[in-house]
Amino acid sequence: MRSDSPLRRLLLVLVAFCLASALPAAQKDKARTPSVKESRPLIRKDLLTFGQGEIVPPRRDIFRPLAYAQPASPQGPSVKAPPRKGRAPADEPPAFALNLVYVGSVRAAGKIVALVLKDGQTISVAEGDEIIPGYKVLRVTPDEIEVGGPSSERKTFARQGDRP
C-alpha cells in the first residue's frame, strides 16, 4: 500500500477542515461566556420602579423600645376603651422600660466604668454613655448607677451580687 493514497489525502483534508471550522466556533463561545469581571449585576435595575405610589411612614422606630401599644387599626373608628385598674392610660408611656442589672465597676484613669447586664449581654458604660437610644447613664458610683429615660425620668440601679 502506498503512503500517498488518495484516500489518505482525503482523510487528511477532512481532518484539517474539521479542525479549522471548530476553532472559530470555540472562540465565539469563549467570547459569549462572561468572565468573573464581566458577570451580570446582582440587582436588575430594569425591574425597579421609581416614584410610583406613596411611601408610608413606619409604624415605629425599631431602634427604640416599644413604650406603649400601638392602635390596632388606624382606619377603624376611634373608640376609647376605659382604662384598666393598675395600668397607665394608653396615652402615657410606662415610667421606665429599661431592665438591666448593675454587676460592678472598674476605676481607670480617674473614671468609673460600670459593668451592666442587659438582655444577657455584659456592657461597659460610663457617665454620658447611651445604653440604648433614649436611655443615658447620668451617674456612676461603686454602689449604684443612675440612668435617665427619654421622658426625663430617672432610675437608680443598685449593685447586685457580692458586696464588700
Q: Is domain 101-158 annotated with CATH 2.30.30.90? A: no
Give CA angle at 82 (76, 86), nearest 5°: 130
Q: Which of 7, 128, 70 is nearest to 137 (CA)?
A: 128
Average of per-residue pLDDT across 100-124: 87
Torsion sign over Cα 24, 26, 29, 33:
negative
Residue 1: per-residue pLDDT: 47
CA proximity to 125, closest of 163, 96, 157, 150 = 157
For residues 57-76, average pLDDT:
61
For 57: left if phi > 0, alpha if psi spans -120 to 50, otherwise beta; the answer is beta
Residues for the chain: how many in total?
Answer: 164
**pLDDT digit string (tens) for 46-66?**
777 777 777 777 776 777 765
Residue 46: the pLDDT is: 76
**Average pLDDT estimate for 148-153:** 87
- Write down the domain spans for the chain: 101-158
Highest mean pLDDT: which range of 16-20, 77-81, 82-86: 16-20
Three-state DSSP at 28 gives helix
CB 145 within 8 A of CB 116: yes
Task: Calculate what percentage of the chain has a pLDDT beyond 90.
Answer: 8
pTM (2 d.p.): 0.42
* CB half-sphere exposure, 17, CA atoms < 13 A: 6
User: 58 with 32: CB under 8 angstroms?
Assistant: no
d(CA 160, CA 144): 9
